[in-house]
Structure 1
Amino acid sequence: MSLHLWISFVAATTVLLLIPGPTVLQCIGDALANRDRQSWSTILGVGVGDAIAMSLSLLGAGALLRTSAAAFTIMKTIGGAYLIYLGLRAIWDARNTHEPEAPSAAAAPAASAFVRFGKASTITMLNPKSILFFVAFVPQFISPQGRFFSQCAILLLTFVSLAMLNAWLYMSLAGVLNKRLQTRTAQKKVGYATGGVLFTAGTLTLALKRT
């Protein structure tokens, strides 16, 4: 793989990751709800979710989804339904957040590291934005003149590293803005935003068509 091709992939990946989506809002919400706990489990979950989705795509799952109507329908139904469920759950939780003003972490127990890891990895793995990127765009950065698996390994490590760095940056930003976002009113807004994005992502996933 040439340096120019790799830099192009880094640029495309950076733009994709910086656009707020289900994973980013999940990271922000997790940082606010678990502000007294370390964020490594959520960041690791993001990395594992992207690694699984991208590996499956590079190993041929993307081609299978393009050619098999049944496989594509099963994938998008499961993924879309799960994202919609998480979106509705986030909206419901936000709606049932009541005053007085206080950090929500004091009102509800913080999630365990395992739960946060599982939720982050699942949301990331089912993120339609990433799925489309892996299936449609990643193969364009693989040179036919180079070794396939070595190029795949480079692209995989690059994407996962950037994804985890992006998650850490957003969670750190949420931590810096903690005092402004820790009130019930602010957390309601974050909850509604997260739920709306997850619900929309799930709806778009269900509406995906094979190309």
Structure 2
Amino acid sequence: MTPSLLFAVLASGFIYGITPGPGVLAVFGIGAARGRRAGAGFLCGHLLGDVVWCSTALIAIVGAREIGSGAFDVLGVLSGVYLFWLGMRAIRTRSRSEDAPQGAARRPFWHGVVFGLTNPKAYPVAVATFTALLASRAELLTWDMLPWLIFLSFVGGLLAYAILIGIVGARYVRTAYQRHEVLITRLCGVMFIGFAINALVHALPGLLGSKTT
């Protein structure tokens, strides 16, 4: 595994874990209501869902690559379009998302487990994020590499959650996040659009027959 591929998988897991979404909003709400320990419990439970969805996404990506470059290119285009759509939605954000969980859970860990496994956005976002960041290294992906890919994405997610645990529960952080939530969401939207462009740049030439071999 090349250093660039290693970094790309780590970055994919990190970005997937730390990007503002329902899970991040939930942990900030729980941290504000019950403190850092409860927030950490929620994230530990939520991590199970992340491992399941990231592993499933990586299996789909490696499978598409093994089937043929055409299948991976199709997946890349679909992922690019989906990320672009997510990015545009984020840029157009005006207020707090209605599906953002509110309040604190009585059992943060188990709430995190259920939340992480049942989040309908988890799998498509995982596939899109990993595909976008791994598109330029698709030729390196093999089934033998899958356990390491899953492990590295897990490490990236852990790093993201370590940062979240470090800041959750701090009053000034919660206040700043609420005050600038729309701006943060829009900046993440710009990042998603950047990933979308990256995925499309690597996938479209193959589908159009102009990709060099």
TM more than 0.5: yes
TM-score bucket of the superposed structures, by smaller chain: 0.5 to 0.7
1:63 aligned onto 2:66: yes
Q: State the 1:153 CA deviation.
A: 6.0
Q: Which residue of 1 aligns with 2:56?
A: 52
Q: TM-score, normalised by structure 2?
A: 0.62
Q: State the 1:77 CA deviation.
A: 2.8
1:123 aligned onto 2:125: yes
Instruction: Give the conservation status (yes or no) of the 8 Å contact 1:22–1:197.
Output: no
Q: Which residue of 2 aligns with 1:163?
A: 156
Mind listing any 5+ residue stretches in structure 2 that lack a counterpart? 31-38, 103-113
Instruction: Give the conservation status (yes or no) of the 8 Å contact 2:88–2:189.
Output: yes
1:35-184 → structure 2 map (5 Å cutoff): 35=28, 36=30, 38-40=42-44, 42-59=46-63, 61-66=64-69, 68=70, 71-93=71-93, 96-97=94-95, 109-110=100-101, 113=115, 117-127=119-129, 128-132=131-135, 135-139=138-142, 151-152=144-145, 154-175=147-168, 179-183=172-176, 184=178
Instruction: Give the conservation status (yes or no) of the 8 Å contact 2:17–2:157.
Output: no
Give the secondary structure class of the aligned counterpart of 1:196: helix
Q: TM-score, normalised by structure 1?
A: 0.62
Aligned length: 181
Q: Which residue of 1 aligns with 2:33?
A: none
Q: Which residue of 2 aligns with 1:101?
A: none
Mind listing any 5+ residue stretches in structure 1 that lack a counterpart? 98-103, 140-148
Q: What is the alpha-carbon distance in structure 2 between the residues aligned to residue 42 and residue 83 of structure 1?
A: 22
Considering only aligned residues, what root-mean-square deviation do their CA atoms show, in Å? 3.9
Q: State the 1:190 CA deviation.
A: 1.2
